[in-house]
Structure 1
């Protein structure tokens, strides 16, 4: 399913240091709680000596996320997960997980210092990550003769539609993803060419 809101373009890591404590911040696009769990477990495996692995995430549209959660992983309540999530929520980005891995440097930061450090680490990685917006698409199926396949492929190239799969039998059946704003053009094209089509809205 495509997203018409910004999501992280991919994985990114940034490191900051505050009073000898190392804060390694990671951002990654996620679509489910299972994915979040997998990434958090990976961070624990890769940094077994870290004092804390804290995180926050939101899935769904920014401002009305379907799901959001956070974890302080042993830091004083509200000093790690909450500031991470707050930064995420101010970034107008959905489907995003930020993990901050802390190596303690021997100097206590205090509650206010921890909040600033975790928020700063989250900010550093979220400001650096590229974002992508996928436009909404409509799944369509077209049944046509072999002669019609090339014109349909050409229409898709011109209009930014994606040919997902093509099945060849007595006729040709193509599964397409058509940008939502191009559906009317697609319908007009199919009717002009006398093609059988269906839209899955």
Structure 2
């Protein structure tokens, strides 16, 4: 499977937005969830916190923002299509990945109607998204370098030039380094080290588990 090497935005922190609409209180919580399991864990956590609420509706974009295979949503007892889908529409349209939204509703006894619910659930997430700060998630890969001691300084200079990080090292009769580098720079770094060592350094990709 080919890895998409394009960096994308993820939430830097959790946010909470609360509003009252026709005596119903809507509490929107957004959190960084880098997997479907972590998304479900966050949803369960909010449900426990607000176990007295009538509805805890949710949606998640657990991977890259455009990867619909990592999306999920639930109306949690609200009329079909009035909560989960509007929440998901806001998340998937934000361009931010690895994020889950849970909107808790404490009902005030006044019916909002399907249009009112769609507006309330989608609107709460829209407002919460305005509060969120993001960071860029860089896509990295690992390379294995095997070289003579004479080329270590050259290799380390190249690693520094491409912001590669040494994650493992082994110094025996030869030097073996495992380094982490952005996918976009991997080929360039590989070629550069091979060229500068006169093709005496061996560079290979490390299979990601």
Shorter-chain TM band: 0.7 to 0.9
Q: Structure 2 CA distance, aligned partners of 1:56 and 1:45?
A: 17
After superposition, the C-alpha distances for 1:34-76 in whole angstroms (9 at most, x for unaligned) are: 2222111101111222221110112344344223221111112
Residue 80 (structure 1) aligned with residue 83 (structure 2): yes
Residue 48 (structure 1) aligned with residue 88 (structure 2): no
Q: In structure 2, the residue corresponding to 1:167 is in which secondary structure?
A: strand
Task: State whether residues 190 and 203 of structure 2, in contact with CA within 8 Å, keep that contact through their aligned partners in structure 1.
Answer: no
Coordinate RMSD, CA, aligned: 2.5
- Determine which of 107, 110, 119 is the counterpart of 2:110: 107
- Determine which of 172, 182, 195 is the counterpart of 1:191: 195
Query: What TM-score comes out, normalization by structure 1 length?
Result: 0.85
Matched residue, 2:130: 127
Q: Structure 1 CA distance, aligned partners of 2:21 and 2:160?
A: 51
Shift of 1:150: 4.7
Task: State whether residues 3 and 134 of structure 1, in contact with CA within 8 Å, keep that contact through their aligned partners in structure 2.
Answer: no
Shift of 1:78: 1.4
- Determine which of 4, 22, 27 is the counterpart of 1:24: 27
Q: Structure 2 CA distance, aligned partners of 1:12 and 1:149?
A: 46
Q: Structure 2 CA distance, aligned partners of 1:3 and 1:134?
A: 9
Shift of 1:192: 1.4
Q: In structure 2, the residue corresponding to 1:118 is in which secondary structure?
A: helix
Q: Structure 2 CA distance, aligned partners of 1:100 and 1:47?
A: 10
Shift of 1:118: 0.5
Instruction: Give the stretch that moved more between structures: 40-49 or 13-22.
Output: 13-22
Q: Structure 2 CA distance, aligned partners of 1:27 and 1:16?
A: 15
Q: Structure 2 CA distance, aligned partners of 1:99 and 1:146?
A: 54
Q: In structure 2, the residue corresponding to 1:108 is in which secondary structure?
A: coil
Q: How many residues align?
A: 201
Q: In structure 2, the residue corresponding to 1:36 is in which secondary structure?
A: helix
Pairing 1:53-64 to 2, within 5 Å after superposition:
53-64=56-67
Q: Structure 2 CA distance, aligned partners of 1:148 and 1:184?
A: 18
Q: Structure 1 CA distance, aligned partners of 2:177 and 2:93?
A: 42
Matched residue, 2:93: 90
User: Unpaired runs of 5+ in structure 1?
Assistant: none
Q: Structure 2 CA distance, aligned partners of 1:175 and 1:168?
A: 12
